[in-house]
Amino acid sequence: MKTLIKNAVVVLPEGSVETSVLIEGTKIAAIDAAIQTTVDRTVDARGKHLIPGVIDDQVHFREPGLTHKEDLVHASRACAKGGVTSFLEMPNTVPNTVTVDVLHDKLKLAQSRSLVNYGFYIGATTENVGELRHARRTPGIKIFIGSSTGNLLVDEQAALETIFAETTLPICAHCEDESTVRQNAARYADSTDIADHSRVRDHRAAFIATQRAIDLAIRHQHPFHVLHVSTADEIDLIAAGGELITAEVCPHHLFFNVDDYASLGSLVKMNPSIKTKSDNEKLWQALLDGVITVIATDHAPHTLEEKQKPYPECPSGLPAVENSLALMLNLVRQDKCTLEQVVKWMSSEPARVWQIENKGRIEVGYDADLTLVDLSLTQTVLNDAQEAKCGWTPWHGTELTGWPVATWVMGHQVFRLENGQSQFDSAVLGKEIEYRH
């Protein structure tokens, strides 16, 4: 199958140019404004921008075991609609992804269920270093240095030292200090005020755990990625960490802060918690400065019924894969950043950090994972229109300008927006992501 995407402004590694892109099979075969060849399909993309598909390196898709909240079919459709062509999923499913066998079961499941490309982390426990050492076909190791949804936790120093010393895969971690959180939780034990979530999971908890993890990574010379940075305080630690240390920020930590509990309540209850307006601003500046280089969503759906339980029972997590790119394109439209920066944060950098083969850039020979965006299209985010199984979004009612309008995964068009309606084609499914490690 040959597809020619004509006349889009194409975001190439060396800059953006109006040109045409030829897809042949699963690959980008040519990039040339003057291509003359017989094709099966031509897409006239004049006036739109073609970018490498988004790679979301932190999602919780809940399958297996928690499929009343989310599953691979719904979540991967949400990805396709959101311009996300590849995802890396976290191990706190049921059973936890803490053995090579469970990891391989998950890969098999995704093969028949995911519309977009997929990869799965292996989770660390205090006892599974043997599994972590032998795991392949995974982007890396996830450590919950602080506990969150589920029962994964590695807080003991000796166990952390062993994991950093005896494994070679890249490591990422949820950094909130468990003992600080527990002490704070005891202090607010009687609280039913959702805003106390940010006092329990406070700035100190994030700082202490991130400092501890970076110290481990540097002493063991082990590549380490700080997941979902939530505080300004962590930025200097990351900057001082040098080349071994990378970090990401999530849309909810850029766009929401403690003032939003009043209107959104537990919908914005997340771990790490949302912090202050000043943290929003400094995290954004850290992206612009290149200290934080990745944007990922931490898409973590729960049903509305679960979220509406009173604090503190309401679970932490919110869905985001289908709106994350649009949230960033809206900032491009407002001149707060460039489309090239968005591509770097959401595609080329996640590909570099996780050593993903043949993705993250539009280049001949690379996988044809492509997202066409219309920077002038305005749409309102609506609960009813969400593909995520939970059927709600904290951005309900938000008007955004700049949306994905077509998505190709390994050369196959899986999504197009036609007269405002989402159209999906699941005749060909996504593929397992390959890594250079």
CB-wise, 60 or 344, nearer to ligand DOR?
A: 60
Under DSSP, the state recorded for 118 is E
Site string for ligand DOR, 89-128 (x = CB under 6 A): ---x------------------------------------
**Residue 174 binds ligand DOR (CB under 6 A):** yes
At its nearest, how many Å lie between ligand DOR and the CB of residue 299? Answer: 9
**Residue 316 binds ligand DOR (CB under 6 A):** yes
Distance between CA atoms of residues 41 and 173, nearest Å: 44
Look at residues 5, 27, 78 and name the one whose alpha carbon lies nearest to residue 299.
Answer: 78
At its nearest, how many Å lie between ligand DOR and the CB of residue 256? Answer: 12
Backbone angles phi, psi at 20, to 5 degrees: -125, 150
Distance between CA atoms of residues 418 and 379, nearest Å: 13
Backbone angles phi, psi at 393, to 5 degrees: -145, 145
Both tokens of 376, joined, read 């002038």
Task: Using the structure block, give the residue that is written with the tokens 């795991």.
Answer: 135
**Position among 48, 49, 60, 197 found at the interface with ligand DOR (CB under 6 A):** 60
Task: Give kind and range of the element (H or E) at residue 399.
Answer: strand 399-409
**Position among 52, 91, 317, 394 found at the interface with ligand DOR (CB under 6 A):** 317
Task: Using the structure block, give the residue that is written with the tokens 């309008």.
Answer: 405
CB-wise, 97 or 148, nearer to ligand DOR?
A: 148
* Positions 270 through 309 that interact with ligand DOR (CB under 6 A): 270-271, 298, 300
At its nearest, how many Å lie between ligand DOR and the CB of residue 167? Answer: 21
The question of whether 298 is a catalytic residue gets the answer yes
CB-wise, 298 or 369, nearer to ligand DOR?
A: 298
Could you count the other beta carbons within 10 Å of the beta carbon of residue 403?
21
Q: State the catalytic residue, choosing from 298, 367, 369, 374.
A: 298
**Residue 56: which residues within 8 A CB-CB, separation 6 or more?**
79, 84, 86, 87, 88, 296, 297, 299, 321, 324, 346, 350
Residue 322: CA atoms inside 13 Å, Cβ hemisphere, count?
31
At its nearest, how many Å lie between ligand DOR and the CB of residue 184? Answer: 16
**Residue 194 binds ligand DOR (CB under 6 A):** no
**Residue 52 binds ligand DOR (CB under 6 A):** no
At its nearest, how many Å lie between ligand DOR and the CB of residue 183? Answer: 20
Site string for ligand DOR, 123-162 (x = CB under 6 A): -------------------------xx-------------
- 294 neighbors 227 (Cβ within 8 angstroms): no
- 210 neighbors 226 (Cβ within 8 angstroms): yes
Number of chain positions touching ligand DOR (CB under 6 A): 11
**Residue 388 binds ligand DOR (CB under 6 A):** no
Q: What share of the chain is helix, strand, coil (3-state, %, to 5)?
A: 35, 25, 40
Residues in the chain: 437
At its nearest, how many Å lie between ligand DOR and the CB of residue 144? Answer: 8
Distance between CA atoms of residues 102 and 100, nearest Å: 6
CB-wise, 17 or 304, nearer to ligand DOR?
A: 304
Q: How many helices (H) and strands (E) does the chain have?
A: 15, 18
Distance between CA atoms of residues 251 and 239, nearest Å: 20
At its nearest, how many Å lie between ligand DOR and the CB of residue 268? Answer: 10
CB-wise, 317 or 360, nearer to ligand DOR?
A: 317
**Residue 231 binds ligand DOR (CB under 6 A):** no
**Residue 253 binds ligand DOR (CB under 6 A):** no
CB-wise, 201 or 359, nearer to ligand DOR?
A: 201
Contact positions vs ligand DOR (CB under 6 A): 60, 92, 148-149, 174, 270-271, 298, 300, 316-317
Active site residues: 298
